[in-house]
Amino acid sequence: MKKRILLPLFLLIALISKATEGEYAISKIPSELLKNAHAVTRIENTRFEVIGIRKAVYYYKVAYTILNENGDRFAQCLEYYDKMLSVSSISGTLFDAYGKKIKSLKKSDIQDRSGTEGSLADDNRLKYHNFYHKTYPYTIEYEVEKKYDYTMFYPGWAPQGDRNLSVQSARAEVILPLNLHFRYKAFNIKNEVVVSENRSSRTYTWAINNVLAIEMESYAPFWSELAPAVYMGPVQFAIEGYEGNMGTWQDFGKFVYALKAGKDILPENIKATVHTLTDGIGTAHKKVETLYEFMQKNTRYISIQLGIGGWQPYNAQYVATNRYGDCKALTNYMFSLLKEAGIKSYYTLINAGYDRRFFIQDFPSSQFNHVILCVPLPKDTVWLECTSQTLPAGYLSGFTSDRPALLVDESGGQLVRTPKYGIAENLQIRNIKASLNASGSLNLDVITYYKAMQEDNLHSLVNSYSKEKILEYLKEEIDLPNYDVTDFNYKQIPSELPSIIETLKIVASNYAQVSGKRVFIVYNLLSKLGRQPVFADSRKYDVELKTEYTDVDSVQIALPAGYQPESVPKDVTFESRFGRYSSRVFFKDDKIYYYRKMEQYSGRFPAKDYNDMVRFYEQVYKADRGRIVLVKQ
């Protein structure tokens, strides 16, 4: 007779529970995928099927297991659509930690709202849903199908779309007819694309499995360089009756030019104004400045994105009559004004944004979100940001500087690079005259000269906000423990490298520490390095410093009667691949004099150099907080 084996109750319950766990049970996630992860992509299956040159269908099914509240951002379904892109269906399901279904998405749960803000006219809308579940871990699954009535853009594939997201399984397919050609550029994907054919179509397939979450590092390159992705683009494409070719930058430029062809005709009164303003001016450069100022004073930026209007400018007559337009319309209008004055310019596509410089130069495609104007002159080139009513002619700011741009004319597109503002241009020069009283309070008269990208934020502030709002900003941003801004003023100096002169009067109570006969004072009053990077035991990614600049400070502190320094700090100078720093302190005629110069270099450095950079900034941080001890004689 066989013996019966009786399992302990807790083990029996565990086995039964295991057997009833669903597909998305957290126990089925490999343990290594939980490291540094706030969420795990359990599955992602995407399919983009091109039906013909004018139509395509996009489908995806994705499931995320949300591990904690920081992963909640992955739990939403957010789908944009417009009259050329429709959302055919959305379904969704919420599961618990064991993969058991909690609830399904109802049609009435989906919000439908405007997809943009601040536009005069826009057909971009948004379907949105979130289960707002807060018992962790949980899993959400969405299935979505969308229909494209154009093929100018292919959706691309980025299965690891954000930091702290690991991927258990992801797969992408692109299917298109044999007579249409397809281009792609893959990054950080180990497996080669699999290509298969049948009698009517060709299929491209990519797959990844068990990709660990990326813990973002300070000063790392752009995310687009770190995570797996496939960028996709057509060769032949169509949009709202227009057909184009994206095989080369030249071909793509021809398409863009076709969208704006014939839209540069000005009303007769504006033509007359152009000649009244410029016929008596001797230089082309001055004519450009004059017409740019005319355009700025007589138009304003308003986004208009209706159908192909997202890519095609409104004509010059529309802008002249209505006195507004988006970046395309205003740039085309400025192009038309210059054309009437006999000056050639180029409608120029660019990817704008202070942190949007990632660009694939050998992959012709619409990697752009903005339009500016390039005016080549015999001795220089003038760049114009036509959406700004305050930037001077010739200055682009950090919004569009130092990145590729596509010049467009009747012969097609040509890739160029916009100007870089470097260490000699991005200046901050500060002069402070201060007086210290015996109780440790400080009165400061501060004059600061900001130039080029060092004045970008201040330029926006001064030209967009009231004096009350600016004062609120100053009261929050100045690096002093207790202070009051009693007066301030700004003088703008427009040029191709614009500058702003800021004048401040500040009272800093109890700035210096008083202890008996001694007073302790930090002589760097306003330009201390605010935050220093942290040493790392290991570093995975390159170090990238994107901006270079020069800061120069001259400080003079008048001391109360009878006080002298107990000792004077030695001069400080050090330099590395990341920058150069020097400072000097001396005492003369009852005053402390302090001089500081900080230069930050830009560049890309190997990961092994990260701690060297930390050491450099550690030295800066320490030097910026040097103190003098004053003794009453």
pLDDT at residue 4 in the model: 43
- How far is residue 460's CA from residue 475's CA, in Å, rounded to a whole number? 17
Concatenating the DSSP letter of every residue in 105-161 gives --GGG-EEEES-SS-SEE--EEEEEE----SSSEEEEEEEEEEES--S----B-SS-
Taking only the tens place, the pLDDT of each residue in 592-618 is 999 999 999 999 999 999 999 999 999
Give the mean pLDDT of 522-549. 94
Mean pLDDT, to the nearest integer, of 256-284? 96
Quote the tokens at residue 367. 């990697």
Compute the distance between CA of residue 403 and CA of residue 408 in angstroms, rounded to an integer: 16
pLDDT band at 359 (very low <50, low <70, confident <90, very high): very high
Residue 531 to residues 53, 264, 364, Cα–Cα distance (Å): 53, 50, 40
Radius of gyration of the chain (CA): 30
Q: According to the model, what pLDDT value does residue 177 have? A: 96
- Mean pLDDT on 520-533: 93
pLDDT band at 21 (very low <50, low <70, confident <90, very high): confident
Q: Specify the pLDDT at position 73.
A: 93
Type of residue found at 416: V
Question: Could you give the CA distance from residue 61 to residue 39 in angstroms, rounded to a whole number?
Answer: 16
Q: Could you give the domains of the chain?
A: 23-239 (2.60.40.3140), 248-417 (3.10.620.30), 427-632 (2.60.120.1130)
The pLDDT assigned to 83 comes to 87
What's the confidence (pLDDT) of residue 516?
87
Consecutive H or E run containing 278: helix 268-278
Q: Is residue 123 pLDDT above 80, yes or no?
A: no
pLDDT per residue as tens digits for the range 136-182: 999 999 999 999 999 999 999 999 999 999 999 999 999 999 999 98
Per residue in 468-505, pLDDT tens?
Answer: 999 999 988 898 988 999 999 999 999 999 999 999 99
Greater confidence (305 vs 107) lies with 107
Preceding amide of 378 cis, omega within 30: no
Sheet containing 518-522: which strands, arranged edge to edge? 513-515, 518-522, 627-632, 563-565
Is-contact 203 46, C-beta < 8 A? no
Tell me which residue of 522, 597, 521, 592 sits closest to 557, measured CA to CA.
Answer: 592
What pLDDT, on a 0 to 100 scale, did the predictor assign at position 12?
33
Residue 469 to residues 289, 474, 499, 506, Cα–Cα distance (Å): 31, 9, 21, 17
What digits encode the pLDDT tens for the residues 322-356? 999 999 999 999 999 999 999 999 999 999 998 88
Supply the pLDDT for residue 357: 83
Please tell me the predicted confidence (pLDDT) of residue 124: 79
List, for residues 204-220, the tens digit of each pLDDT value. 999 999 999 999 999 99
Whether 116 has a pLDDT exceeding 80, the answer reads no
pLDDT of residue 6: 40
8 A C-beta contact, residue 114 and residue 22: no
Residue scoring higher pLDDT (310 or 558): 558
pLDDT of 394 over the 90 cut: yes
Query: pLDDT exceeding 90 applies to what percent of the chain?
Result: 86
Is residue 525's pLDDT more than 90? yes
* Confidence (pLDDT) at 306: 59
Q: Within 10 Å of residue 74's Cβ, how many Cβ atoms?
A: 20
- For all residues of the chain together, what is the average pLDDT? 93
pLDDT at 303: 79
pLDDT at 302: 87
Nearest residue to 504 via CA among 439, 561, 450, 453? 450
Name the 3-class secondary structure at 622: helix
Average pLDDT over residues 416-444: 96
Residue 5 has what pLDDT?
Answer: 40
Cβ neighbors of 14 (< 8 A, separation 6 or more) are none
Rounded to whole angstroms, how far apart are CA atoms 279 and 483? 54
For 100-119, what is the mean pLDDT?
84
3-state secondary structure 339-398: HHCCCCCEEEEECCCCCCCCCCCCCCCCCCCEEEEEEECCCCEEEECCCCCCCCCCCCCC
Average pLDDT of the segment spanning 411-434: 97
